[in-house]
Structures are given as structure tokens and as C-alpha cells.
């Protein structure tokens, strides 16, 4: 069914007869693809939950049958009888930073100013690079990499203490990877890429 009234990106209404045919085709294609993607997203999310439940139930049975207590990490592997299929369940902790990280950055700027003055040089850029935000988050590897620098200045050490205080690892992602042996006997991943759903 063709729309009688169309809205442009500014929210203005445009009568159908003034909307070019190609624009209408693009609109229909975008809407169709979005609906299919949304449906697939929901089915993948349900698939993910179902499979985690199946694997968790089996793993708990294995623990009970063998009188083993869980290590609490949530990492385990389930295989088919012939070991052709392997399903890996893993939990990866994600490092995040609280408000102390801003104080640490300020303290590092004080250190740089004390050591090099206010000159915008390469050292400033290298250090400040660690605190850049991408998609609302700092790169934990870059920030934690600052601990590898053998700097003993009081301001620097205070900044490192503030970074330690800012670290939080209570956020975690759960992953499932499904593998099948190929003709050479090597495991090949079944790429579903649904870990972010």
C-alpha cells in the first residue's frame, strides 16, 4: 500500500505526488530490510537463550554426576560423542572505569605540565591517547598500558592509584562458539556473530 502522506527527515509532510518514484522505492527497500533484520535479531536472541539453557543444564548434570563443584567462572566446553562438534561457553569480564578516571587524567596532565611545561608535544599526545573515548567507552588496554611505564614521579603514582580505584570488572559478556571438524580434522567455527545481542 502506497503512503498518501510522506514525512521527510525534518518532519515536514510531503504529498505523495511530490515524492520521486526512486525515493519511494528506496523507502520500501529500507523498511523491508529493517523488518527482516529485526525479525532475525529476535530469532537469534531466542536461539542464543535456548542454547545457553541447554548447555548450562548439561554442564550442571556433568558437575553433579562427577561430584565436582563449579569454579564459578562459567567457562566450559561440550562436545559430541565423536568430538566432531565442540561448543565453547565462555565469560569475559569487561573492564570499565568510574569517575576516578577523570581525576587520574587530570593528575597526569599536572605531571606532564610539571615535566614538560604546557607545550603540546608528542609525549602529551601519546599519554592523552589512552584516555580517548570511543562509543562512550575508554579502551581498557590503552589505559592499563600506562602501568607498564616505569615512572616514579609522585603525581604519576597518584594518578596510577586513581586509575586502580576507578577500575570495575563486574560487567561481563557471555559467549558461545560452535565448532565442527572439517575434512582435515581441524575445528572450523560456525560464525553466527550473535555475541552482542
29's CB contacts (< 8 A; 6+ apart) are: none
Mean pLDDT of 117-145: 75
Residue ranges of E strands in 43-84: 76-79
**Cβ atoms < 10 Å from Cβ of 104:** 23
**C-alpha separations of 196 from 41, 44, 148, 176, 177 in Å:** 11, 11, 31, 11, 13
**Closest by alpha carbon to 61, among 76, 81, 46, 83?**
76
Q: Residue 189: what pLDDT?
A: 86
Q: Is the pLDDT confidence value at 9 over 90?
A: no
Q: Distance between CA atoms of 116 and 1, rounded to whole angstroms?
A: 68
Q: Residue 192: what pLDDT?
A: 73
How many helices (DSSP H) and strands (DSSP E) are in the chain?
5, 8
Q: Residue 1: what pLDDT?
A: 56
Q: What is the mean pLDDT of the chain?
A: 84
As to burial, measured by CB atoms within 10 angstroms (0-12 exposed, 13-18 middle, 19+ buried), residue 8 is: exposed
Q: Distance between CA atoms of 88 and 126, rounded to whole angstroms?
A: 38
Tens-digit pLDDT profile for residues 14-54: 999 999 999 999 999 999 999 998 999 899 889 989 999 99
**Binning pLDDT at 50, 70 and 90, where does residue 139 land?**
confident
Q: H-helix or E-strand containing 101?
A: helix 100-116
- Global pTM? 0.57
Q: Residue 83: what pLDDT?
A: 92
Tens-digit pLDDT profile for residues 140-177: 888 888 888 888 889 999 999 999 988 887 667 788 88
Cβ contact 148:79 at 8 Å:
no
Q: Residue 52: what pLDDT?
A: 92
Tens-digit pLDDT profile for residues 89-111: 988 777 888 888 889 888 888 88
Amino acid at each position: 500500500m502506497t503512503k498518501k502522506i510522506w514525512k521527510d527527515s525534518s518532519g515536514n509532510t510531503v504529498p505523495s505526488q511530490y515524492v520521486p518514484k526512486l525515493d519511494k522505492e528506496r523507502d520500501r527497500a529500507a523498511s523491508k530490510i529493517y523488518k527482516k533484520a529485526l525479525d532475525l535479531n529476535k530469532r537469534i536472541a531466542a536461539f542464543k537463550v535456548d542454547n545457553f539453557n541447554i548447555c548450562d543444564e548439561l554442564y550442571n548434570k556433568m558437575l553433579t554426576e562427577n561430584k565436582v563443584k563449579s569454579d564459578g567462572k562459567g567457562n566450559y566446553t561440550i562436545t559430541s560423542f565423536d568430538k566432531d562438534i565442540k561448543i565453547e561457553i565462555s565469560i569475559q569480564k569487561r573492564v570499565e572505569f568510574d569517575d576516578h578516571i577523570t581525576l587520574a587524567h587530570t593528575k597526569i596532565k599536572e605531571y606532564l605540565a610539571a615535566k614538560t611545561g604546557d607545550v603540546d608535544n608528542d609525549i602529551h599526545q601519546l599519554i592523552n591517547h589512552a584516555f580517548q573515548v570511543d562509543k562512550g567507552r575508554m579502551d581498557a588496554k590503552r589505559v592499563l598500558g600506562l602501568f607498564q611505564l616505569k615512572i616514579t614521579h609522585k603525581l604519576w603514582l597518584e594518578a596510577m592509584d586513581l586509575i586502580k580505584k576507578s577500575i570495575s570488572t563486574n560487567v561481563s559478556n557471555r559467549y558461545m562458539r560452535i565448532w565442527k571438524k572439517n575434512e582435515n580434522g581441524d575445528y572450523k567455527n560456525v560464525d553466527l556473530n550473535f555475541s552482542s545481542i
